Amino acid sequence: MSDTLIRTPLYDEHVALGARMVDFAGFEMPVQYGGILEEHLATRESVGIFDVSHMAEFRISGEGAFDFLNTMLSNEVNKIVDIGAAQYTLLLNDAGCIIDDLIVYNTGLEFLIISNASNRFQDWNWLYEHKPDNVEMFDETDRTGLIAVQGPKALGVLKQIFGPSWEPPHRFHIEPATIDGKIDVLVARTGYTGEDGVEIIVHKDDVVALWRMLLSFPEVSPVGLGARDTLRLEMGYSLYGSDMDITRDPISAGLGWACPKSKEGYTGCEALKAIRETGPSVRLVHLLVENGIPRHGYSVLHEGKEIGTVGSGSHSPSLGKGMATAYVPAEFAEPGTELEIQIRKRTVSATVVKPPFLVK
Amino acid sequence: MDMPKDRKYSIDHEWVIVEGDEATIGITEYAQDALGEVVYVDLPDEGESFAVGDTFGEVESVKSVSELFMPVSGEVIAINDSLADAPETINDDCYGDGWMIRVRIENESGLADLLDAEAYLASIDE
């Protein structure tokens, strides 16, 4: 493993827990502690905690911040003018292709953007180049730790940490909180697993204490990137780099909902109008596979002819079946369409389904 | 590491119990541990024949795939059907209920290359 990999403030905790560490987006991250299945089910049934400190955080402030973000982001930023509101949104280029997907939070003091670790510098540069003088940007990534706390028992555990009077923020909202009057955090009712829970933004000097505090509850398990991937894929949540990238537009990617038709004047808007008019030539589909595990790069076939390749592919621990995403010609995108996936020497049947794979 | 002495091992991490002209084959503790939780096993059909070193199937965990290599040459006379519904048996009991196939040995090729428990253990310690 290269010694140039970045370590999050929780690195020593992961190693002490016996995690298998891998290179992920230039970070040395835990892929699993015990087993992926076990961690996946722990999150579905109890509470899983995830070190997501590798994700990038930018603070955007100043008089022009709202107008700037409204021009740069695809979703309606005016829907998060209330303090504490958050929104899933896309960063597009002029061609209407996806630079990144991210969540923007209105903390009251400023806008906070959390984006994919692998796109940190690309996003930063794109925003910074377009920034007017009355907007300030600050890259908070190296100063903060981020822990996702996800699962049906997550809020119960958090109540014990924050105190009985603590109420969780509403879904897709963020609020400050304090632990023992000492540790200041931002609690966001967001996540990437399909479970209820929060993501906690904390100063890097306090993240180890918070991690240990969470793990002191018997219902809490540490969960690695392996299960994070199976959890999000079961819910049909797209992952940058697998389900979308700079060559894809939001309409093809099934993310048109994050680019409302009623919104005008943002980067990529005109290009999207043209795509909406003609309809995209390809679409991202979700494929359920009964007999085998599809993996990234495998061929997707229709009557023996290759029509696409698997973007995300894995085993669904909740369903005990294979699941995949792929871009295929739009005529094959209808739910119920029967396709095939080439799994090494075998060709197995795959059915286009409407996401999520796991209906909760 | 658990390493039964009643059988032989291949450097590809399969174990073999030879009884007369029949051999029962599975994967080792080391192999199942390296794979992680097994979620899918692809085994051959009865009646298929394989030579030493042929791929006779695949075993998958959530994150990885591993091919299964024939440690002996022969015709498949039985497969462990229960693994289709309970692939995790390979993690739970790789030397017992997690056996994979039984073959009728066709010739002696490969048999001499199999390792005893001690030699196999040494090979994975390297």
Contacts of B63 in chain A (CB under 8 A): 31-32, 36, 226, 314
- DSSP assignment letter at A189: S
Torsion A352-A353-A355-A359 (CA) sign: negative
Q: Which residue of B has its CA nearest to A316?
A: B62
Taking only the tens place, the pLDDT of each residue in B53-102 is 999 999 999 888 999 999 999 999 999 999 999 999 999 999 999 999 99
Taking only the tens place, the pLDDT of each residue in B21-39 is 999 999 999 999 999 999 9
* Phi, psi values for residue A15, rounded to 5°: -65, -45
Cis peptide before A280 (omega within 30 of 0): no
Q: What is the ipTM of this complex?
A: 0.78
Taking only the tens place, the pLDDT of each residue in A238-252 is 999 999 999 999 999
Q: Is the pTM of this model over 0.80?
A: yes
* A342 in contact with B, Cβ within 8 Å: no
Taking only the tens place, the pLDDT of each residue in A305-344 is 999 999 999 999 999 999 999 999 999 999 999 999 999 8
Strand order in the sheet with A56-61: A86-92, A98-106, A111-115, A56-61, A136-139
Rg of chain B over all Cα atoms, to the nearest angstrom: 13
DSSP string, A224-246: -HHHHHHHHHHTT---BTTTB-T
Whole-angstrom distance, CA of residue A253 vs CA of residue A100: 12
Q: Which helix (H) or strand (E) holds A271?
A: helix A269-278
Record: contact B36-A320, CB cut-off 8 A: no
Whole-angstrom distance, CA of residue B57 vs CA of residue B12: 13
Whole-angstrom distance, CA of residue B93 vs CA of residue A123: 49
Structure confidence at residue B126 (pLDDT) = 63
Contacts of A35 in chain B (CB under 8 A): 36-37, 62
Question: How many other CB atoms sit within 10 Å of the CB of residue B57?
Answer: 20
